[in-house]
Amino acid sequence: MEYRRLGASGLKVPALSFGAGTFGGRGPLFGAWGTTDVREARRLVDICLDAGITMFDTADVYSDGASEEVLGRALKGRRDQVIVSTKTGLPTGDGPADAGTSRSRLIAACESALRRLGTDHIDLFQLHAFDAGTPVEEVLSTLDDLVRAGKVRYVGVSNFSGWQTMKSLALAEKHGHPRYVAHQVYYSLVGRDYEWELMPLGLDQGLGAVVWSPLGWGRLTGRIRRGHPLPAGSRLHDTADYGPPVEDEHLYRVVDALDEIAEETGRAVPQIALNWLLRRPTVASVLIGARNEEQLRQNLGAVGWELTTDQVARLDAASSRTAPYPHFPYQRQEGFARLNPPLVAPAPAVAA
């Protein structure tokens, strides 16, 4: 397993990390993701550690906290071998104090996460969403207190826009608060919006990308293809409306390219999609989830080899989309591109 620095920090994380959203299995969304219990979770953790996966990511909103509970019990006796990452900020109830990142909510959420995880510190504590109702200074000063108290080691964000991230980083620097070192983002071959603004920001400001849903919300598993109905066992039947939208024709164009490269390499479609992500700028770690041992072992096959330059170019071309304003002139027009060279190799233009 390759280990990479997480943004502009000294923390080294594995190229692949494990997302524990399948642990617990409570509610309509997370119940469809998976229902892994403690015994099964221990087995998956064993496999991860044997493969060099040392970072495990969860959130308080996953299965109403059950994911954190199951993960904590699965890690019992080997806490010092792993990096524990969790998130807070999304609603966990209907009360006024059950959502957001106010000082009181952050402190309570951190204490609850520590209790459920059965640990005395969280290695990476991330804000799951931007809270427009709480001053950024209040958020940052509270995170500073949690770091100084030893309850949190590093801080990050998830699903922030560019201006929200940059404002937070600027104020952290101004007031001497801990800077965010990670941005947990959606990024996949069928969802490349991250490249247009957040990737350049991450490169400039030292934010490492921790990628969620790298298989496009379950669309790049190799089971969905042009001209075939959605497989009976696909979680998309129950969860498609919760995740990022993907137009069918765009998905099929990407899957066609993946299928071609799968024949050339002898690799599974998910392994190719994950390997493509691992080559992208700013990507520190890609979160893989698994409902069972078979899925986990297949995803582990994404490392230890590399796509060729030609294969990457073909995947880039198949997945390319026209960027929204103000980004498309920099993508299409030579004068703009000369001022701001692309971070990744430009792909041939395709229909939006």
> How do residues 2-60 score in pLDDT, each as one tens digit?
999 999 999 999 999 999 999 997 766 676 666 789 999 999 999 999 999 999 999 99
pLDDT of residue 351: 40
d(CA 330, CA 115): 48
pLDDT value for 330: 85
Lowest mean pLDDT among 107-116, 159-168, 229-238, 324-333: 229-238
Of 182, 267, 185, the residue nearest 220 (C-alpha)? 267
User: Once rounded to an integer, what is the mean pLDDT over residues 199-228?
Assistant: 92
Contacting residues for 101 by C-beta, under 8 A, at least 6 apart: 88, 89, 127, 131, 134, 139, 142
User: Catalytic positions, please?
Assistant: 62
pLDDT at 349 over 60: no
Structure confidence at residue 352 (pLDDT): 38
Residue 261 — left, alpha, or beta (φ > 0 → left; ψ -120 to 50 → alpha)?
alpha
- Helix, strand or coil, per DSSP, at residue 150: coil
pLDDT tens for each residue of 243-271: 788 899 999 999 999 999 999 999 999 99
What is the reported pLDDT for 96? 87
The pLDDT of residue 225:
81
Angle at 186 (CA atoms; ends 293, 63), nearest 5 degrees: 55
pLDDT of 152: 98
What confidence category does residue 73 fall into, taking pLDDT thresholds of 50, 70 and 90?
Answer: very high
Residue 220 has pLDDT above 60, yes or no: yes
pLDDT for residue 236: 57
- Cα(316)–Cα(322) distance, integer angstroms: 12
Cα gap 218→344, rounded to integer Å: 25
Q: How far apart are CA 321 and CA 190, in angstroms?
A: 9
Q: How far is CA 116 from CA 31, 63, 100, 150, 326, in A?
A: 19, 12, 20, 17, 44
Hey, CA dihedral for 137, 139, 143, 149, is it positive or negative? positive
> Is it the case that residue 238 has pLDDT exceeding 70?
no
- In this prediction, residue 350 has a pLDDT band, given cuts at 50, 70 and 90, of very low
Task: Identify the pLDDT of residue 207.
Answer: 98
Q: What angle do CA 185, 188, 189 make, to 5 degrees?
A: 155
Kindly state the average pLDDT of the residues 311-337: 91
- Amino acid 230: pLDDT: 65
Cα–Cα distances in Å, from 158 out to 129, 130, 169, 207, 213? 6, 8, 14, 11, 13
Question: How many helices (DSSP H) and strands (DSSP E) are in the chain?
Answer: 14, 10
CA angle 316, 1, 244 (to 5 degrees): 40
Q: Is the peptide bond before 326 cis (omega within 30 degrees of 0)?
A: yes
Q: How far apart are CA 13 and CA 5, in angstroms?
A: 6
The per-residue pLDDT of the chain, averaged, comes to 92
pLDDT band for 311, please (50, 70, 90 cuts).
Answer: very high
And the tokens for 186? Answer: 């959606």
